[in-house]
Chains A and B, each alone.
Chain A
């Protein structure tokens, strides 16, 4: 079963913040976040492993609540370059990922 992402789409102005959520009905060992620009391949952003550690990468960070089987991606002070579709991928005991249906993020000037 695919994890559920919300919202499906979000439009921001430059400098605004956004949160993208990923929720699974299964127990999780890891959550991956990827960003895909139109016509390109997905690009890795970060992995969160079981343990609830929050990770960060410049102005993009994420949290993982394994009890709730949820992860959230936080984008602060968004830039035009943040536009794209964001996917979470949830991992179980194997390294097989199940990806969500994506969240389309559009950052406008």
Chain B
């Protein structure tokens, strides 16, 4: 099992450009999440999904869109990148089948720089 994978690992964008980050998990997890991590701010939830075809806003959703067309994939889109979106982006997933299975599995992260 690969677990949670993210592509790309690194990206540099110019202000105003768009891009999509892909998260894939092979653990048949129901829940998937997108976080951003900035120095001194910890992990902040951008959007999340409780199942295929459903998405919801997290703490910092502005400037991002997401889609969950397949259970195993969760896409994060930036329509018009801004320097404030320079960050490390983490995807995570977890299962809700068992109460004890609430741990989140994180992907390796995508480091995005917007100039």
List the interface of chain A (C-beta within 8 A of B): 2, 30, 32, 34, 40-44, 47, 49, 87, 89, 91, 94-102
Partner of B103, one of A32, A87, A99, A102: A32
Partner of B94, one of A42, A95, A98: A95
- Select from chain A the residue with minimum beta-carbon distance to B95: A95
Inter-chain residue pair count (beta carbon < 8 A): 53
Q: Which residues of A contact B42 (CB under 8 A)?
A: 2, 87, 99-102
Distance between Cα atoms of A100 and B31 in the complex (Å): 21
Size bin of chain B's contact surface = 20 to 34
Q: Which residues of B contact A100 (CB under 8 A)?
A: 42
Q: Which residues of B contact A43 (CB under 8 A)?
A: 106
Residue among B50, B100, B105, B106 with max Cβ neighbours from chain A (10 Å): B106
Q: Which residues of B contact A30 (CB under 8 A)?
A: 102
Q: Which residues of A contact B106 (CB under 8 A)?
A: 41-43
